Amino acid sequence: MIARRAFLALAAASIATTALAQTRDPLADRFGGPFSLTAHDGRRVTDQDFRGRFMLIYFGYTRCPDVCPVDLFTMGEALKLLGKLAEKVQPLFITVDPERDTPDIIGDYAQSFHPRLLALTGSNAEVEAAVRAYKVHRVKYTPANDPANYGVDHSSLTYLMGPDGKFRTLAPHNTTPERMAEILRPYLERG
């Protein structure tokens, strides 16, 4: 009787351990993928260029009146709060408005938020490929009375990708710098 109970307990523990090991983050394969874009310094970069480092990625545009500046400020401040751990991270700003966000424009913009923030742009097709890979909502809206002064409605998430290029986690708009640093810290400490 005791041997049977011990066997059943061992079997139950084995099943539970196997089930836990097979449990995956349901978002793990939803975000991320290859991209090939132009950095603000003119060089071509791909997602492969950042292997071995974490990528902290934000999609936005330089003429965004409110959301992008807040989120990019948060990203920069969170990196400062992380101190030396932030050296494991390459922060990236990928434009959703490649028609207006040329390398020189996005470079000046990005540098105002963090000195290591690398701004990326490309052709509309290249940006669209990155937008699709990261499941970013992007819709251009044009005022009837001023078509040259269009805006771009876009999602506002900050993605953390691991050194292997795989999705780790994200932070939504209005996350404080302190909270973002708190979210990132365990991933960076584990490596």
- For 140-167, the pLDDT digits (tens) are 878 888 877 887 766 789 999 999 999 9
Q: Tell whether the model's pLDDT for residue 9 goes beyond 70.
A: no
The DSSP output letter for 43 is -
Q: Of 93, 57, 32, 64, whose CA–CA distance to 153 is shortest? A: 64
Tell me the per-residue pLDDT of 91-133, one tens digit each, with 9 for 90 and over. Answer: 999 999 999 999 989 999 999 999 999 999 999 999 999 999 9
Q: Of 169, 173, 171, whose CA–CA distance to 190 is shortest? A: 169
- Is 143 contained in some domain? yes
What residue numbers bound the domain in which 77 lies?
26-190
Question: What pLDDT score does 148 carry?
Answer: 76
The DSSP output letter for 109 is H
Question: What pLDDT score does 66 carry?
Answer: 86
Token look-up 């005022």 returns 143
- Is 76 contained in some domain? yes
The amino acid at residue 173 is H
Measure the CA angle with vertex 95, ends 94 and 97; round to 5°: 165
CATH number at residue 80: 3.40.30.10
**What average pLDDT does this structure show over 170-184?**
95
Q: What's the pTM value of the predicted model, to 2 decimals? A: 0.83
Angle between helices 177-190 and 67-82 (to 10 degrees): 50
**Contact call for residues 160 and 184 (beta carbons, < 8 A):** yes
- Is 19 contained in some domain? no
Comparing 18 with 187, which gets the higher pLDDT? 187
The DSSP output letter for 48 is G
Question: What pLDDT score does 31 carry?
Answer: 84
Integer Cα distance of 91 and 77 in angstroms: 12
- Is 88 contained in some domain? yes
- Is 16 contained in some domain? no
Tell me the per-residue pLDDT of 37-96, one tens digit each, with 9 for 90 and over. Answer: 999 999 999 999 999 999 999 999 899 888 999 999 999 999 999 999 999 999 999 999
Integer Cα distance of 44 and 125 in angstroms: 15
Question: What pLDDT score does 24 carry?
Answer: 52
- Is 9 contained in some domain? no
- Is 20 contained in some domain? no
**Contact call for residues 80 and 176 (beta carbons, < 8 A):** no
- Is 7 contained in some domain? no
- Total domains in the chain come to 1
